[in-house]
């Protein structure tokens, strides 16, 4: 037995003993995904957290995801194995900044990407994820102004898909996806000319600005499929193609390969790694189960207000 098998066994035993469930985002390390009871995108994980019978949820993801789980399951103990697992995108907007923005647009409906703190969600009408952002914005009457935060690239994608002109977009970005440049895409597309190209809407290249200004000619974007992480997994499964170029955090390649063992996947950029997602390790999961580290809670007054926005997100497919 090697060290990984040992720790895996220990985690499994302790998980049973504590009636715990391990939820992992698709950007997690391969060995963390392999030990999880469920691997998915932020929407899928929120749904699982809301429906689990387990007493303890070990959340292998980042802080805002664990907060969301705690808001949805206040009677469960939610553990985030590393308290420093934050999100550079969520950090781009505070509740104070959102309140100020709302005051400038009275009557506007606020749509926040789930990558936001609980405080920001409490000031939000609808949360959304990359997999349902277009549906959420389409559910809002067209005569209502929309404030969309915090991801500008996802916002531009939604604005384009919905054809909405009364949508204002916060200028936030995720450092991992914003770091994916047209030249990375070009290199991979030249190397794999028959591969399909799947791209997360947080990527800077999705920006309608690039598209409209014709700058996309150099990165051959016109046949890109813009998909959430779960959308990528489902698309690759259904597609008759055998080869794909993937523009998002590299952790998803493990899941894509596991679900499609006969197909090939190429990361558009090996540098697209989220250091926050990678903070969760097997030893930290074991410690979390042993020592109850770190318990994520949300003050009831904030949780109550955030819950409605999250429930709307979970309800809209
Ligand atoms: P998904 O909503 O596709 O899971 O993405 C979450 C995220 O953090 C993207 O960087
Ligand atoms: Fe946040 Fe970006 Fe990491 Fe996703 S990949 S958790 S948006 S920093």
Q: Give pLDDT tens digits for 89-137.
A: 999 999 999 999 999 999 999 999 999 999 999 999 999 988 889 999 9
Ligand 1 pocket test, candidate residues 228, 234, 247, most atoms within 8 A of CB: 228
Could you give the percent of the chain with pLDDT greater than 70?
94
**Residue 313 pLDDT class (50, 70, 90 cuts):** confident
Q: Please list the alpha-helical segments (H only) found in 18-62.
A: 30-35, 42-51
Is the Cβ atom of 116 under 6 angstroms away from ligand 1? no
Is the Cβ atom of 250 under 6 angstroms away from ligand 1? no
Could you give the percent of the chain with pLDDT greater than 90?
78
Q: Which pTM does this prediction carry?
A: 0.93
Nearest to 88 by CA among 185, 198, 230, 202: 202
**Ligand 1 centroid distance, CA of 180 (Å):** 15
Cα first-last separation, the chain: 43
Query: Six-digit token pair at 145?
Result: 């102004």
**Ligand 1 centroid distance, CA of 2 (Å):** 33
Query: Six-digit token pair at 132?
Result: 């349902």
212: pLDDT strictly greater than 80 = no
Q: Average pLDDT, stretch 292-315?
A: 95
165: pLDDT strictly greater than 70 = yes
**Residue 1 pLDDT class (50, 70, 90 cuts):** low
Give me the domains of the chain, ranges plus CATH numbers: 3-86+277-298 (3.40.50.10800), 90-173 (3.40.50.10800), 176-267 (3.40.50.10800)
Is the Cβ atom of 125 under 6 angstroms away from ligand 2? no
**Residue 183 pLDDT class (50, 70, 90 cuts):** confident
Higher-pLDDT residue of 316, 209:
316
- Give me the pLDDT at residue 159, please: 93
Is the Cβ atom of 130 under 6 angstroms away from ligand 1? yes
Q: Residue 56 in 3-state DSSP?
A: strand
- Give me the pLDDT at residue 207, please: 56
16-48: pLDDT as tens digits: 999 999 999 999 999 999 999 999 998 899 889
Measured in degrees and rounded to the nearest 5, phi and psi for residue 167 equal: -120, 125
Is the Cβ atom of 128 under 6 angstroms away from ligand 2? no
Give the DSSP letter string of 265-288: EEES-TT---TTGGG--HHHHHHH
317: pLDDT strictly greater than 80 = no
Q: Tell me the C-alpha distance between 213 and 140, whole Å.
A: 29
Neighbouring residues of 94: CB distance < 8 A, sequence distance ≥ 6: 117, 119, 120
**Residue 15 pLDDT class (50, 70, 90 cuts):** very high
Lowest mean pLDDT among 35-49, 69-83, 162-176, 197-211: 197-211
Ligand 2 pocket test, candidate residues 116, 152, 176, most atoms within 8 A of CB: 176
**Residue 218 pLDDT class (50, 70, 90 cuts):** very low
Q: Average pLDDT, stretch 260-278?
A: 95
- Cβ atoms of 96 and 120 within 8 Å: the answer is no
Q: Is the Cα dihedral 200, 203, 209, 211 positive or negative?
A: negative
- Give me the pLDDT at residue 232, please: 95
- Give me the pLDDT at residue 149, please: 98
240-262: pLDDT as tens digits: 999 999 999 999 999 999 999 99
- Cβ atoms of 109 and 146 within 8 Å: the answer is yes
69: pLDDT strictly greater than 60 = yes
Q: Tell me the C-alpha distance between 257 and 262, whole Å.
A: 8
* Mean pLDDT across the chain: 92
**Residue 293 pLDDT class (50, 70, 90 cuts):** very high
Query: Six-digit token pair at 107?
Result: 């009557």
**Residue 316 pLDDT class (50, 70, 90 cuts):** confident
- Give me the pLDDT at residue 222, please: 66
209: pLDDT strictly greater than 60 = no
- Give me the pLDDT at residue 217, please: 44
Nearest to 33 by CA among 278, 314, 291: 278
- Give me the pLDDT at residue 214, please: 43
Is the Cβ atom of 41 under 6 angstroms away from ligand 1? yes
**Residue 221 pLDDT class (50, 70, 90 cuts):** low
From atom 1 of ligand 2, which residue's Cα is the shortest distance away?
Answer: 87
Radius of gyration (Cα) for the chain, nearest Å?
19
216: pLDDT strictly greater than 50 = no
Is the Cβ atom of 87 under 6 angstroms away from ligand 2? yes
Is the Cβ atom of 114 under 6 angstroms away from ligand 2? no
Ligand 2 pocket test, candidate residues 43, 45, 64, 115, most atoms within 8 A of CB: 115
Which one of the ligands is nearest to 88 CA?
A: 2
């Amino acid at each position: 037995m090697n060290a990984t098998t040992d720790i895996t066994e220990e985690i499994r035993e302790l998980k049973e003993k504590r009636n715990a469930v391990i939820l992992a985002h698709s950007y997690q390390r391969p060995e963390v995904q392999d030990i999880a009871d469920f691997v998915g995108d932020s929407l899928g994980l929120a749904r699982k957290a809301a429906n689990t019978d387990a007493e303890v949820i070990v959340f292998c993801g980042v802080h805002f995801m664990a907060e969301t789980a705690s808001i949805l399951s206040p009677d469960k103990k939610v553990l985030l194995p590393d308290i420093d697992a934050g999100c550079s995108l969520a950090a781009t907007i505070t509740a104070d900044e959102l309140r100020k923005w709302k005051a400038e647009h009275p009557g506007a409906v606020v749509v926040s990407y789930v990558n936001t703190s609980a405080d920001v969600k409490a000031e939000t009408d609808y949360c959304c994820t990359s997999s349902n952002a277009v549906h959420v914005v389409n559910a809002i009457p067209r005569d209502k102004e929309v404030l969309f935060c915090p991801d500008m690239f996802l916002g531009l994608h939604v604005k384009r898909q919905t054809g909405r002109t009364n949508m204002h977009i916060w200028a936030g970005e995720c450092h991992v996806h914003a770091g994916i440049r047209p030249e990375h895409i070009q290199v991979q597309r030249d190397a794999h000319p028959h591969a399909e190209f799947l791209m997360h809407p947080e990527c800077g290249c999705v920006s309608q600005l690039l598209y409209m200004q014709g700058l996309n000619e150099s990165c051959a974007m016109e046949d890109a499929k813009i998909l959430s992480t779960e959308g990528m997994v489902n698309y690759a499964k259904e597609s008759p193609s055998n080869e794909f170029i993937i523009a998002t955090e590299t952790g998803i390649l493990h899941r894509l390969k596991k679900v499609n063992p006969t197909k090939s996947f190429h990361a558009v950029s090996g540098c697209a790694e989220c250091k926050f997602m990678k903070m969760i390790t097997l030893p930290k999961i074991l410690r979390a189960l042993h020592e109850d580290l770190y318990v994520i809670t949300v003050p009831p007054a904030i949780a109550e207000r955030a819950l409605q926005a999250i429930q709307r997100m979970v309800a809209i497919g």
